[in-house]
Chain A
Amino acid sequence: MKSITSVLVWSCVAVLGTLSVAAIALHRGEQINAMWLVLAAVCSYAVGYRFYSKFIAAKVLALDSRRATPAERLENGRDFVPTNKWVVFGHHFAAIAGPGPLVGPVLAAQFGYLPGTIWILVGAVLGGCVQDFVILLFSVRRDGKSLSQMAKEEIGPLGGFVAFVAVISIIVILLGVVALVVVNALKDSPWGTFTIAMTIPIALLMGVYLRYWRPGKVLETSVLGFVLVMMAVVGGQWVARAPQMAHYFTLSAYWLAALIIVYGFAASVVPVWLLLAPRDYLSTFVKLGTIFILAVGIIAIRPTLHMPALTRFIDGTGPVFAGSVFPFAFITIACGAISGFHSLISSGTTPKLITRETETPMVGYGAMMAESFVAIMAMIAACTMQPGQYFAINSPAGIVGRAPEVAAGTISSWGFPVLASDMTSLAKAVGEQTLYNRTGGAPAFAVGMAQIFAHSLGGETLMAIWYHFAIMFEALFILTILDAGSRVGRFMLQDALGHLWQPLGRTSWYPSIVATSALIVGAWGYFLWQGVKDPLGGINSLWPLFGIANQLLAIVAFCVATTIIIKMNKARFAWITLAPLAWLVAVTFTASYHKILNPNPRIGFLSHAQTLLQELNSTAPAPTLARAHELARLIFNDRLDAVVTAVLVFLVALTVADSAWQWFRVLSGRKAAEVKEAPFVPTRLGASPELAHKAVS
């Protein structure tokens, strides 16, 4: 009876999911409700988790609840601690959720809601969730080893080296591009700049409060910090209205970039307890709360999507970023579907907290489903806006023009009508002077989110508060990523340089801290500065570069996973990682080819450099000295971007080839199929997971 009920329920879920996907895929020329996307997502995740993750767990990985995990065997009360699975889930989700799943889908919405939504669902269920799950399990079986260590042991030294280079590169590019998102969101916005500026003294106050007044009361301190941040959000409007105050907080993109670089360096060298830790707590608190209320808001309001399913820009002529739907939609979405960066978390803190192997599907596969749902919400927020407004916000001045009437005319001529007066009203409603040319995705997401909330809570009068709350929320955790990323990059650099000269590897030696911090901050600061100077808005070239680096890291993770599966004598099931690996190789290598060699100057780095070179060498009329210097720098930047992309692709291609060689040797019997797992030790935590949890709590 129970099995019949189960079959009926799951059949209904599958049919509902199919109908929802059909509804979003087949509607043309009429608007649909956002709930179709929510239903399609929930049903896809439910079916994926119930059947696909169970299949992988049982048939491929053969999870064994009798096997002691490193959290039990190596328990030390610090890194290795057996922890309740729901707690680990929350911990893991808080670590993997960032601005990527919010920004990527907003940018990809220029193709319409359909390509991005389909990729978020398919990519997550068959790729991203699988990657996070298998890497987590393999790390658990190897005493919590990192991806680089596993790549080195299972594939070879080249794999380890490539993983290291890919990680450093992705950190540098990621920090540069997310800093650019903040700059574009805050430029000429006294309200937003004031709010974000205030988060720094608030974090310092939290650090002092936590250390000297209420030691260890982190939740209490975070609530206090949140109240102060909300006061800053509300108070920002008075700062913006007072000309003398507004003057100090109305900053150009250059000033903001310079201040963020200085902040990044300072945050990397000051004590952790003073800035990094309280900011991290505050950011996590705001992040979890906002994601929750956004989900509630979308389900309660059930907004209509105004963006069409497909736009004319699938041909690659889009103003937000250039490039056709294949491969660029898949590069742009990044973290909402598959994120290589997650493999670092899955082989970092999380495997050291897992009590039983059988909990890895819920933590690894499940947390990525939640992240993917955040991406669906971002897609909904972007597509509920009027398309004309979406393109006015996200298009750079170099494409649509700087004057409001010209920009509105250009966008209307594409078939997305918008009036300059509409944009003025919208800017006024959200408390901004202008919303034109605010590339980067964050302002568009904030407007979409504010419009959703304004329909339910506070109406139009609170729209400005909601907009600035959303901007604060995105900027806060982007700046937290800058803090944490600069630190992690600095440590990796110190580890590497320590092999060349030992003192540089000492993480407490101040000259080494300052030098390596300057190197890391200088590297991402260079990309940021390059983006700010770019007449096409920077996002056009930098976001795809970040997407490529992120997906290349995922390729390394899938190479490691496939190698281990084959060595486990489960080659017949290797398709579970080989299929997403093959897809990612096709997508990233094609995107890299286009970004380097495409003859369209808006897409290819080298053809853009060539166009600029022609202008530089032109004699009729010859460029001015200042313009000639600018052209020379832009040409250098294009060539640098091309070289960075080419080096990354080359190294990853070597890893794929090295892995394939290992697979061939193992499958042909030339090499013993030996995995480097920790030996089996039976658990002492009782027979059932429930007993185990009682034992550890």
Chain B
Amino acid sequence: MRQRIHCAWRLLITALREIFDENAYARFLAREGMSSSRIAYAAFLREREAAFQRRPRCC
């Protein structure tokens, strides 16, 4: 039971990190071999800008 709750909690955090683009940033850092910094985040935002701007939000 405890393990299941732990698993559900981890899943929730993973989902939130994905929805809020934290996982995308982590993947970017891993791919580019960078550590988190202002410069790295600015580069990530530049890369994501087009995708973010074209992401529709439904009614």
Q: Which residues of A contact B (CB under 8 A)?
A: 77-79, 81, 83-84, 86-87, 89-91, 94-100, 174, 178, 210-212, 215-219, 222, 272-273, 276-277, 280-281, 284-285, 288, 334-335, 339, 341-342, 344-345, 348-349, 477, 480-481, 484-485, 487-488, 491, 507, 546, 550
**Chain B residues, Cβ within 8 Å of A219:** 16-17, 20, 22
**Chain A residues, Cβ within 8 Å of B55:** 95, 348-349, 484, 488
What are 29 of the A-B contact pairs (CB < 8 Å)?
A78-B24, A78-B27, A78-B28, A84-B15, A87-B14, A89-B15, A95-B56, A174-B59, A210-B41, A211-B42, A215-B42, A216-B36, A216-B41, A218-B22, A218-B25, A272-B45, A272-B52, A276-B53, A284-B20, A341-B56, A348-B56, A349-B51, A481-B57, A484-B55, A484-B56, A485-B57, A488-B53, A488-B55, A550-B59
| Residue B5 interfacial (CB < 8 Å) | no
State which residues 1-41 of B face A: CB under 8 Å.
Answer: 11, 14-22, 24-28, 30-31, 36-38, 40-41
Q: Are A211 and B45 in contact (CB-based, < 8 A)?
A: yes
Chain A interface, >50% SS class? helix
Q: Which residue of B lies closest to A349 (CB)?
A: B55
**Chain B residues, Cβ within 8 Å of A491:** 53-54
Q: Which residue of A lies closest to B53 (CB)?
A: A487
Shortest beta-carbon distance from A203 to chain B in Å? 14
**Chain B residues, Cβ within 8 Å of A281:** 20-21
Greatest chain A CB density within 10 A among B40, B56, B59 is at B59
Q: Which residue of B lies closest to A175 (CB)?
A: B59
Shortest beta-carbon distance from A696 to chain B in Å? 11
Q: With A and B bound together, what is the CA distance between A91 and B15 in angstroms? A: 7
Q: With A and B bound together, what is the CA distance between A679 and B27 in angstroms? A: 28
Shortest beta-carbon distance from B20 to chain A in Å? 4
Q: Are B57 and A78 in contact (CB-based, < 8 A)?
A: no
Q: Are B54 and A341 in contact (CB-based, < 8 A)?
A: no
Q: Are B18 and A90 in contact (CB-based, < 8 A)?
A: yes
**Chain A residues, Cβ within 8 Å of B11:** 84, 86-87
Q: With A and B bound together, what is the CA distance between A91 and B19 in angstroms? A: 5
Q: Are A87 and B59 in contact (CB-based, < 8 A)?
A: no
Q: Are A95 and B58 in contact (CB-based, < 8 A)?
A: yes
Q: Are A218 and B57 in contact (CB-based, < 8 A)?
A: no
The verdict on A488 contacting B59 (CB below 8 Å), with A90-B16, A216-B36 known, is no
Q: Which residue of A lies closest to B20 (CB)?
A: A218
Q: Which residue of A lies closest to B28 (CB)?
A: A77
Q: Are A178 and B59 in contact (CB-based, < 8 A)?
A: yes
Q: Are B57 and A280 in contact (CB-based, < 8 A)?
A: yes
**Chain B residues, Cβ within 8 Å of A78:** 24, 27-28, 47-48, 51
Q: With A and B bound together, what is the CA distance between A550 and B52 in angstroms? A: 23
Q: Which residue of A lies closest to B46 (CB)?
A: A273
